[in-house]
Amino acid sequence: MKRLLATVGLTYLSVLSVVFYFANGTFTNIIIILSALSAFVGIFFKVIKNKIRIKKSLLDLLITVGLTSFAACIAIILYSNFIYRPVIDNYSNKELSVEGYICDEIQKNENSYVYIINADKINSNSENVKIRLISTVDLKCEDFDRIDANFTVSKAENGYNLSKGIYLSAFYDEENDSFNSTGEKQFSLYSIAVNIRKAMKSSLDSLLPENTSSLCKAVLLGDKHSLSSDIKADFSKTGTSFLIVVSGMHLAIIAGFVLFLLKNIIKNRYALASIILAIVFCFMAITGFTPSVVRSGIMLILTYCSKAVFRRTDGLNSLGTAAIVLTLFNPFAVGDIGMLLSFSATAGIILWARKIEIYLSRKLRLKGKHKLIRGAINLISVSLSASLWIIPITTIAFHRVSPFVVLTSFFAEPIVSVVLICAMLASLLYLCPIISFFAYTFALGADIFGNLLLRTISLFSSLPYSCVNSDKPYFYIWLIFTALLVIIGYAVKAKGFYVRCAVTASAVVLTIGWAVYAIIGNNSATLKIYNVGSGVTASVECGSNISFISCGGTNGSAYQIIEDISGDFSSIDSIIIPDTKLKYAKYLPQLMSEFDVSNILVYDNNTDKKLLEKYGGKIDTFSSDCHFSINLNSLAALEVINIDSVTYQYLHINGSTVLFATSRSDIAKLPEKYRTCDYLLVDSNVKNSNLLSCKNVIFSGDKSLLESKNSSIKEISDNIYTTSDGVAELVFSGGSNVKDK
């Protein structure tokens, strides 16, 4: 069977991804049954192939895909039940005594610190568990320090954390938690790579202005934490975030540059291959063994090893091998969206880039000359094929596409190559005392081209429709239709005529879908109430606008909420805090750190000044006995009423009304016109609730808490929804409905 490793590796990766992101128990069982059935059918017909005419290659493919899919399902089930689940069952939602060490570089954001702890003892029991600890204060420790600490943990929801083996997360509470560095260091080979990374970052900070230094650190080392929110938003809108996420492209550029320098100096192919492989491994280590870099590293290792023995490698087989290596011992590696984007883009380049280049060259009737034009066509072909193949993933994961990504990449990628090489040489030369003065020349190049890159991305991000929300029914229909056309094309070995017809049909379906949707209109808004334990976090979304009417809860939910909204929004229009208690305001620092927030309103109760003092220049306040209105977006307006130091929020959203009543609310004091609503949002009992006329109640909390401590809420309405099972969504589009995620 041709390309066996490609078939096995890419099938294994694809099935793991589907099960990881979409499957529940029933769905997984269906996949297992179908894959086993596929293998059985293939084996059955192979046995009787002399009686029935079926291509042997098709039977082999059916058997291989079936067995691989079955193996992938079993692997992720076993890993989940025997590796992941015991950690969650034993330690999630508990206060732990932890001994271990900081196992990676401490990440410092504007308002928080992130510590990755490798715990070797939990509650005095030997363990090997990674915990992600977030703190708004400096815990006075360094990378690879041994520590002992006490804090409450919850399970890590973020797929990237799971891909790195981080199954638990915690938010440090100064008042209730403890954290101490023992003064000892935990040595590992990886600590050497981290120290080199920090030294290179320090070199760039010394050589370059802040903006270009942060850009170079992102491009070269994958450190995006020091990038301003405006710059990150521009890259996100243009669909070129892959340029500031260290990936296989960056490793290929560096390896290609080194090969260009050495190929005429070192003639021995074994020595040259050894040097390239050493550089590949060092770059993987310095960038933290990012899965997309490791994918490229494995492919480069296979390529250069084969060259050393005068053999050619097959790109798809190398890609399949990389998929097997990355996921065989850690099926949760598919939780890293960046890795899936890397595999998808690489597959697109291998399968389509050369064909697109040949097609364009023929249409332009290019001959042997025109090297510059041929280079431009090659760049367009690579960008186009990669961009087309990542559309399904970006659509599902981020709910947006960037129509100008190919054009933007055409101008930006050559600049990134120059920035990457200049930044690498500048940061390394600066660390060599005798020749450090050479670093300034390359730093100048990095600064010039870095500013050029920022201006280019900013220009494209300012264009109309530079980013289009793809979370629409017609877009998914178009995506499925196009995928079917591609599959049919490969099945019938389609030529030029079919390709032209398929492209035309795909464009027609997309255009018609967009036109129909535009006529019908996207006249809907969504109120989301998150499951945050004790407290309330609620957002109002409409199109590209999002506002929060409360953002509080327990420690473990903050980054789950940030990850949920960051795929759709780069900024927040308004945050209204009804009380500075943590149950309504705890996540404000994280939201301010991760997003641009245009308007922040906090009730000033004259007792808790800590939050207001920390962010005094960015927050507006309102005081007792006031009433005002805010237009959150085109479909939602909010009335804020404060009576006797209690804040009520009355939301008018697309013809429906929602009353948010905080703790200590007394309906008898609320003006009568606000006592009637379609939905009541609460997290505790309210006084005189019998005065309310309410159709539905949304309780922010668990069902058990509702039953035990808030039983009077059940008397308000027969229709009660809780956040026990996840996010409660109220979708208002003429009519309204509630659904649980």
Residue 634 has pLDDT above 50, yes or no: yes
Q: Give the pLDDT confidence score for residue 41 in this predicted structure.
A: 55
Q: Rounded to the nearest 5°, which phi and psi values hold at 540?
A: -120, 120
Mean pLDDT of 231-250: 77
Euclidean distance between CA atoms 346 and 41, whole angstroms: 32
User: Is 157 exposed, middle or buried, given 0-12, 13-18 or 19+ CB atoms closer than 10 A?
Assistant: middle
Mean pLDDT of 382-398: 80
CB distance 680 to 717 below 8 Å: yes
The pTM for the full model equals: 0.71
**What DSSP element (H or E) covers 721?**
strand 719-722
Euclidean distance between CA atoms 179 and 687, whole angstroms: 41
For the chain, the average pLDDT equals 81
More confident residue, 613 or 523: 523
Record the tokens describing residue 84, joined without a space: 């992941």
| Residue among 142, 136, 214 at smallest CA distance from 175 | 136
Q: Give the pLDDT confidence score for residue 741 in this predicted structure.
A: 45
| pLDDT band, residue 607 (cuts 50/70/90) | very low
Q: Give the pLDDT confidence score for residue 739 in this predicted structure.
A: 47
Residue 198 has pLDDT above 70, yes or no: yes
| Residue among 120, 129, 114 at smallest CA distance from 172 | 114
Residue 368 has pLDDT above 70, yes or no: no
Q: Give the pLDDT confidence score for residue 523 in this predicted structure.
A: 66
Q: Give the pLDDT confidence score for residue 444 in this predicted structure.
A: 94
CB distance 317 to 6 below 8 Å: yes
| pLDDT band, residue 740 (cuts 50/70/90) | very low
- What is the tens place of the pLDDT at every residue in 339-348? 888 888 888 8
Task: Give 108-113's long-range contacts (Cβ < 8 A, gap of 24+).
Answer: 108/225, 109/225, 109/593, 110/592, 110/593, 111/136, 111/589, 111/590, 111/592, 111/593, 112/136, 112/589, 112/590, 112/593, 113/137, 113/138, 113/139
Where would I find the H helices in 492-615? 496-520, 558-566, 582-585, 588-594, 610-614
Euclidean distance between CA atoms 643 and 660, whole angstroms: 14
Residue 426 has pLDDT above 90, yes or no: yes
Q: For every residue of 186-241, which 3-state class applies, written as one string? A: CCCHHHHHHHHHHHHHHHHHHHCCHHHHHHHHHHHHCCCCCCCHHHHHHHHHCCCH
Q: Dump the DSSP string for 594-637.
A: HSEEEEEEEE--SS--HHHHHTTTT-EEE-SSEEEEEE-SSSEE
More confident residue, 29 or 235: 235
Mean pLDDT of 629-645: 88
Record the tokens describing residue 8, joined without a space: 């096995």
User: Is 24 exposed, middle or buried, given 0-12, 13-18 or 19+ CB atoms closer than 10 A?
Assistant: exposed
Where would I find the H helices in 365-472? 371-398, 405-429, 439-461
Euclidean distance between CA atoms 470 and 512, whole angstroms: 15
User: Taking each helix axis from N to C terminus, what angle separates 337-348 and 315-327, rounded to the nearest 10 degrees?
Assistant: 170
- Give the highest mean pLDDT range of 20-34, 451-465, 467-481, 721-735: 451-465
Mean pLDDT of 83-94: 89
CA 739 to chain centre: 24
Q: For every residue of 287-336, which 3-state class applies, written as one string? A: CCCCHHHHHHHHHHHHHHHHHHCCCCCCHHHHHHHHHHHHHCCCHHHHHC
Residue 469 has pLDDT above 60, yes or no: yes
Q: Give the pLDDT confidence score for residue 180 in this predicted structure.
A: 92
The percent of residues above 90 in pLDDT, for the chain, comes to 18
- What is the tens place of the pLDDT at every residue in 411-422? 888 898 899 999
Residue 567 has pLDDT above 60, yes or no: no
Residue 165, sorted as left (phi over 0), alpha (psi -120 to 50) or beta, turns out to be: left
**What DSSP element (H or E) covers 46?**
helix 25-47
- What is the tens place of the pLDDT at every residue in 659-715? 999 888 999 999 999 999 999 999 888 888 888 888 888 888 877 677 666 667 878
Range with lowest mean pLDDT among 372-381, 441-450, 708-717 = 708-717
CB distance 151 to 117 below 8 Å: no
DSSP, collapsed to helix, strand or coil, labels residue 575 as: strand
Residue 552 has pLDDT above 80, yes or no: yes
Helix, strand, coil percentages (3-state) for the chain, rounded to 5, are 55, 20, 25
Range with lowest mean pLDDT among 22-31, 151-160, 165-174, 227-236 = 22-31
Q: Give the pLDDT confidence score for residue 359 in this predicted structure.
A: 81
CB distance 135 to 593 below 8 Å: no
